Homo-oligomer: A and B are copies of this chain.
Amino acid sequence: MNGRSAKRLARLQETLSGGGTIHLSEAAKLCGVSEMTIRRDVAASNGAMTFLGGRLVMADNPLFAPVYDLDEQQGSHYLAKHRLCKGAASFIAEGDTLFIDCGTTLMPLLGMLGDFQSITVVTYALNVANAVSGLPNVRLVLLGGLYHDVSQTFADDAMGDAIRRLGINRAFLSAAGVHAERGVSCFHFHEVAPKQAAIASAAQRLLVVDESKLGAIRPAYFARLSDFDVVITENDAKLASAEGEPGPRIVAA
């Protein structure tokens, strides 16, 4: 990559910084070079930008990441999350205020909210906010703060208070580890405070986890299993160890 090429690339990057696409032909006109040169620039950009059907997009734009690939085993993994969320959605009632946790597990749930007339979603995750912002029937409350790239979430000292001030009917939580004795945990410590505040203030607490999380222990502990009213997972047998004891209702989806 040479100097002028880098300059063009920077120009295009600025143009696309707010999201969106430009057609190859327009990018070429904008930079005053041929389409082939733009192609070569992009090829040399080391993955910062890519083409999608003749249009130029920032590669890190979450909108353009392929979500689904039948050839990979990831496909069935997605299907599992879809099933889990189908089960989770059956708990939602018209007019609910929902807390939606971060991660990818609960993303399919958001698409299912279109079936309701009036729902309010409370979240501290950017990807969740983006998905919900497009739904006309869903009110969105985003809990702001300092952005953490690793989890696409915001964190703030005052977030716990902010959550407690909201009237949350149902809190849908995700986790990276669920252990019968060692409780429920995630990877990042900055997620603990909002999760605990949601658990503390919601009328109903639902944990949605796929099978791969069962038995795992992750660095950031945030709740006991018995703190939840419902656990939605694929294999209810794996969690049915403490029969009879007071604990969450285990639902297989």
Contact = CB atoms under 8 A, between A and B. Distances in A.
A15 B62 contact: no
B68 A15 contact: yes
A55 B21 CA distance: 14
Interface residues of A, number: 69
Interface in A130-153: 130-134, 136, 139-147, 149, 152
Contact of A147 (B26, B107, B127, B142): B142
Given A52-B55, A108-B15, A145-B144, A20 B82 contact: no
Interface in A90-130: 104, 107-108, 110-112, 114, 124, 126-130
Interface in A44-100: 51-55, 57-58, 60-70, 75, 78, 82, 85
Q: How many identical chains are in the complex?
A: 2
* Chain A interface main SS type: mixed
A40 interface: no
A228 interface: no
A29 interface: yes
A130 B141 contact: no
A45 to B, nearest CB: 13
